Structure 1
């Protein structure tokens, strides 16, 4: 049997019998499937899709346009009918003659890479009609004029989700790859695929969260997050890890790094070859990293102020005590960068100069443009989240993970689901995808504080946000700073980060745009010689002008940042061991919070 030419393999009597046997095993798995779905824990329906008013407004606008300009609607319909009839006619001709005409070159779509999509009349018709339908939907959405910008963006996003969901590759009868493998393996691939599906459902209380990586291949503290260090402080919000020195002397001013609490800190310490944590210690710095608690429902009333007080301020205070210094250099990544800017405003108003310099990794402070998150930051979704967290006490990690995944649904939802559930394949042993699936819950109050006050009302750059008895504002951020952003970041777009940094009060600002995205642009070790970066000292220009005039530098931004940091890190002193008499070593790195599971 061969499929290299795009032919379906032959099915002998022996193969059919084995296929029947495997299909009987499917019944047993089906019982498990029914059981797990019967016990599925409910969640707020509003989290599954937009309020139907969006589609009602779109339909009203569409038909109003059609009433005013019926020729436009007829033109679209006739074009759709014509293409559909032509698709069918070509399929009929191919069935009669056994020959398929070559199509004009079209942009590659890796979903349709199997030769059968071109050579087999059935699959060719299915593909062509799907693409025709997709074009018609996109054209109809684009023709809706009487909607505001946010509704248009949301309509475009959700209609594309429908298009992607209805791809013929997502269904067994119209997926030649899955059908070929089912016949080749006598149905074993389907059996294993169902096993994978049931296992994923059982692991998530009936919620379908597609496993992206082979979890058995990784262990946090085993082959991930292995840079030597110790937990030297712990409270209800975080563990403070001090990493062991890698040089005989270190700079006097320590670094305290705050990672996002949506995911785990070890994205910065996946393996030795790409560990920013290890690299920093090798440059001669005393490094502390915060490892956040993965909260359960007992943290329901924990808000942004708790992350500032018991996270940022507590960590800075303990680092100063351990290192016997008055100042630290602080780093904040993503939401922790946003919160570092809030903390800097608070310290400014208090007259506290504990932070000598600040580095922001892909951190938003101005949310006037919501970018790709626009579909999820409107009231219908936020109302749904508020209802969900009020009931559960936390925003469960799978909800945030699912939202992130659907921003890249072909690569992070449908593609992995096809390989796992239809092809019966084991997910790859990929450390980045393992980390991506190792999310954390978010406290109820913190989720609402962040989504309402910062994302929706954009208070930090408008009238100020009320926290801890102060009205915090972005203009109060006045320490020397460097902002690292990423060119193709779909979570914190560099232009939006730039707009926030422009409004900060610092006299010394360095802004950098790294090639690649939210993770790869940050985890970009110099040894890889992979992604370059852009710099421009003119922070008064708009973002487009800034980029046009920027200088491009080959290679990682890490060495440039280290040269900047060195000037703000004081003299060389003997390397510090971890902890002190008042800060005993509580656990070796990566600590206990990073592996704790509040849902178990």
Structure 2
């Protein structure tokens, strides 16, 4: 099926015109004409979005109004906050009046775990330590003021707390040269050379912005430095290229591995430089690996929906693999949003084609979005409607909006620390394959992104049985093949407790792994790299449910990479090895289309 065929097909009332609970769907095809008043509203919202980076002012105002009105009606809470502020001020005054000989760093408050802004030894010097503690006390007080207020909705309280924290982070003493001892020490050691280097870095970044070039170190070359594992493009449609990687062993596991990456970014997060490549790791251990490479959509693809991604992506890839490796079940693997899509496709396949899949692996992928972390701060009715108006005009969600949302979740690490390092310290981070991949963003079609936000995030239709595929409800309880599920400890995109909810939904044997690291670094965990660890606990389908806190207590903690554990899982559920293919070919014996990594990954 081509993209044009998808766009031309008649709308299914069961799938497009109503939601799973029978209420009218909000998202409309972008080519459906609007009334005059609707067009005016949409144009105004799109214009505002250019100034706000896609954030809805109405959604933010409603959250602050909820908090402020409840605080105004709570004199006891206001008194408590006032007394707390006075007590902190008195303690602070006593601290700064302490003689230097009796000075104790971090006397009043310490940075929270993971806050590395004040980690250097110079921050224990009295003058700078006083500034840091004053800032942390203010941050602590504001957190108390914006959270735990009786009557304020949990979602609105989280938005207010997050917004206030972002405002405070702007004025942190670590962000200014005169109040950052590490910057001042570097200035003394270099004779001010750090400011000269920082000025040049700033000029380079301004130039790169003008020519729409990614900021930072020169990127790795796709197909040479990254995405370099040898293979062929064996199938292509208007949405995906399917890459089959060349075997590296004489004999191979008979069941192929299909990897479904997220299409928010390029696929080669799982095929970075040779020492970090999960694909190369699998191929060298005797697995036949297929990878989906998504096309970077443009405005013409605005009406491609999430179910079109399933049909043109996962289903099309499985059909092609069934022709290339006939009569063999598939070890299907999905990462992030690709894992969510794979879970949907696998649940349907379990009913329509039992035995098609041998196992399902989900890497940092959510299927229940109730507790989806701080990313849900950007997902409410006002925000989704605002984004829909913006995307309807453009046809896609541009890369800048997507990248900006993820950077805000970790603003200290992704924004402020980088500005300090580049412009005040005059340094540049060493180039890395992961940084290069992170700068290689993609766009999101209007309808698909709206489906994702509204049906999965906002309404949680998949977990609650309302998500429709081809007009039929998808039940995750139909997932009965063995599953290997990975969450990561410091994941801001797919928190591991949210990933763990697969235990409540799938009727399958599940090996759940909690890996060290974050959403990307926790998944890219080669055994050759030191510092990795993970916890593992397996649960059979007929065993009682184990909640996340109990899971943490019971799971065995192990040093090393979870990749090795995954290979053991796949091998135990595979048949006797067979001779590897002597040459790769497309379905029906035709010649491959071209060498990996193909052309779609090179699109900008």
User: TM-score band, normalised by the shorter chain?
Assistant: 0.7 to 0.9
1:60 aligns with 2:69: yes
Tell me the residue number matched to 2:386: 384
Q: Which residue of 2 aligns with 1:166?
A: 171
SS of 1:342's equivalent in the other structure is helix
Residue correspondences, number? 543
- 1:22-421 to structure 2, matched below 5 A, reads 42=50, 46-47=54-55, 50-65=59-74, 67-68=75-76, 71-79=79-87, 81-82=89-90, 101-105=103-107, 107=110, 110-112=116-118, 119=125, 121=127, 126-142=131-147, 144-178=149-183, 181=187, 184-185=192-193, 187-204=195-212, 211=215, 213-216=216-219, 218-351=220-353, 353-421=355-423
Aligned to 2:476: 474
Tell me the CA shift for residue 154 of structure 1: 2.3
Q: What secondary structure sits across from 1:111 in the alignment? A: coil
- In structure 2, C-alpha distance between the alignment counterparts of 1:302 and 1:550, rounded to whole Å: 41
> SS in structure 2 opposite 1:279?
helix
**2:236–2:242 CA contact under 8 A, matched in 1:** yes
Q: Which residue of 2 aligns with 1:502?
A: 504
Instruction: Identify if the C-alpha distance between structure 1 residues 486 and 539 changes in structure 2 by more than 3 Å, giving closer, same or farther.
Output: farther
Contact 1:239 1:591 in 2 (8 A): yes
Change in CA separation of 1:413 and 1:48 when aligned onto 2, cut-off 3 Å: farther
Give 5+ residue unaligned stretches, structure 1: 1-39
How far is 1:341 from its partner? 1.1
- What do residues 102-124 of structure 1 show as CA deviations (whole Å, max 9, x unaligned)? 54555366434567756585x56
Q: Give TM-score, length-normalised by structure 2.
A: 0.82
How far did residue 173 of structure 1 move?
4.9
For 1:69 and 1:367, the matched residues in 2 are separated by 32
State the 1:255 CA deviation: 1.3
What is the CA-CA distance between 1:239 and the residue it aligns to? Answer: 1.0
**1:546-557, aligned counterparts within 5 Å?**
546-557=551-562
Contact 2:49 2:55 in 1 (8 A): no
Q: For 2:484 and 2:355, how far apart are their aligned partners in 1?
A: 17
Deviations 1:44-92 (A, max 9, x none): 5552765212112212222222x345642431342355367668878xx
In structure 1, how many angstroms separate the alpha carbons of the residues matched to 2:173 and 2:565? 48
Instruction: Supply the distance in 2 between the matched residues of 1:114 and 1:283 (Cα, whole angstroms).
Output: 43
Q: Tell me which structure has the larger Cα radius of gyration.
A: 1
Say if 1:45 and 1:384, in contact at 8 Å, map to a contact too: no
Aligned to 1:437: 439
TM value normalised by structure 1: 0.83
RMSD: 2.9
Tell me which residue corresponds to 1:522: 523
Q: What SS does structure 2 have at the residue aligned with 1:560? A: helix
**Corresponding residue to 1:573 among 564, 578, 583:** 578
Map 1:530-545 → 2, pairs under 5 A: 530-537=532-539, 538=543, 540-545=545-550
Change (3 A) 1:433 1:547: same
Note if contact 2:358-2:482 (Cα within 8 Å) is conserved in structure 1: yes
Relative to structure 1, is the Cα distance of residues 550 and 204 closer, same or farther in structure 2, using a 3 angstrom cutoff? same
Q: Secondary structure at the match of 1:511?
A: strand
- SS of the equivalent of 1:284 reads coil
**Cα pair distance change 1:166/1:383, threshold 3 Å:** farther
Q: In structure 2, do the counterparts of structure 1 residues 119 and 524 end up closer, same or farther at CA, with 3 Å as the change threshold?
A: closer
